[in-house]
Amino acid sequence: MSHNLLKGKKGIIFGALNNKSIAWQVAEKAYAEGAEFTLSNAPAALRFGDTGKLAEQCKTIVIPADATKLEDIEEVFDRTLEHFGGKIDFILHSIGMSPNVRKKRPYNDLDYNYFLQTLDISALSFHKILQTAFKKDAINEWGSVVALTYVAAQRTLYGYNDMADAKALLESIARSFGYIYGREKNVRVNTISQSPTMTTAGGGIKGFDSLMDFSERMSPLGNATAEECANYCVTLFSDLTRKVTMQNLFHDGGFSSMGMSLRAMTQYDKSFNCD
Ligand SMILES: NC(=O)c1ccc[n+]([C@@H]2O[C@H](COP(=O)([O-])OP(=O)(O)OC[C@H]3O[C@@H](n4cnc5c(N)ncnc54)[C@H](O)[C@@H]3O)[C@@H](O)[C@H]2O)c1
């Protein structure tokens, strides 16, 4: 059901790889709500992913960019502004990758070159996008920038590895840049802290199925899906949330406020009965 919440709004969506991607769901919802946007993803991801299909569906263009490369990000903004003949209103940063997670290096045996890549891809890319947008004055007043994060930035969750550090940095960048962007241009910057979600990036985390099950049992409302996350993103891009900025907004069915739940306790108790 569409409410035309984003009618007339223009944006950039980074990170839609396939139809499981949170960014993909955001693109579909934003399109249904009347938005126009360009899509961007890493050149390698464009070769094996389905971003082109999504572009056809949403009648838009794809601009390749490795989000760690400033010149690529500048190109995304230049081409987007040219495409629309003017400024944009929203940006989604939905980018994350850890070579340490991929190569199964545990947190107490990290490869430091990989660690730097994790931070560069998953956190500094957000600063690069914000700084490029700011310098090019690419976002209209009352525009909205959202990045996706995870509760492992605040609490230790086994297996999340150096992505936890990247997410802590990402959330800090949202606050630090959110202050400047709000003060100077009335643009808001927030992070959404999403439940574990079965996507290409999510599935790479060690023990992800158990994490999803645990989190589902712990959350009074259950895990939030990618589609539900997309709905939340739409509200943040809309004019209904103009004074929300510099926040880390939990979208996790209540998980982040829980300690122990009945459903988790019931499951946990079973392990004491099996001997
Ligand atoms: N899936 C989850 O459980 C979960 C939970 C909370 C937050 N998040 C966050 O949501 C965001 C989107 O992830 P997702 O779960 O939709 O998985 P996904 O794998 O579909 O998306 C990750 C995207 O990052 C892109 N990417 C990786 N390296 C890049 C680079 N150098 N330049 C440009 N793009 C690059 C990938 O191509 C991909 O499109 C990530 O920031 C992730 O950490 C995911």
Q: How does pLDDT run across 150-180, given as a tens digit for each residue?
A: 999 999 999 999 999 999 999 999 999 999 9
How would residue 206 be classed by pLDDT, with cut points 50, 70 and 90?
confident
- Asked if the structure places residue 84 within a domain, the reply is yes
- pLDDT computed for residue 272 by the predictor: 77
- Asked if the structure places residue 86 within a domain, the reply is yes
Render pLDDT for 238-248 as a digit per residue (tens, 0 to 9): 999 999 999 99
- pLDDT computed for residue 181 by the predictor: 98
Yes or no: say if 126 and 78 are a contact pair by the CB < 8 Å rule.
no
Among 150, 54, 147, residue whose Cα is nearest residue 101: 150
* Residue tagged active-site, from 150, 158, 179, 181: 150
- Asked if the structure places residue 182 within a domain, the reply is yes
In this predicted structure, the answer to whether residue 275 has a pLDDT above a threshold of 90 is no
- Asked if the structure places residue 275 within a domain, the reply is no
Domain assignment of residue 59, given as a range: 10-270
- Asked if the structure places residue 3 within a domain, the reply is no
Render pLDDT for 70-120 as a digit per residue (tens, 0 to 9): 999 999 999 999 999 999 999 999 999 999 999 999 999 999 999 999 999
- Rounded to whole angstroms, what are the CA distances from 81 to 37, 76, 77, 87, 135? 10, 9, 6, 6, 13
Q: 154: domain CATH number?
A: 3.40.50.720
The pTM is what?
0.98
Residue 51 Cα: closest atom of ligand 1? 39
- Asked if the structure places residue 17 within a domain, the reply is yes
* Residue tagged active-site, from 31, 112, 160, 181: 160
Count of domains in the chain? 1
- Asked if the structure places residue 5 within a domain, the reply is no
Ligand 1 centre and the CA of 201: distance in Å?
A: 5
What is the rounded distance in angstroms from the CA atom of residue 215 to the CA atom of residue 65?
Answer: 33
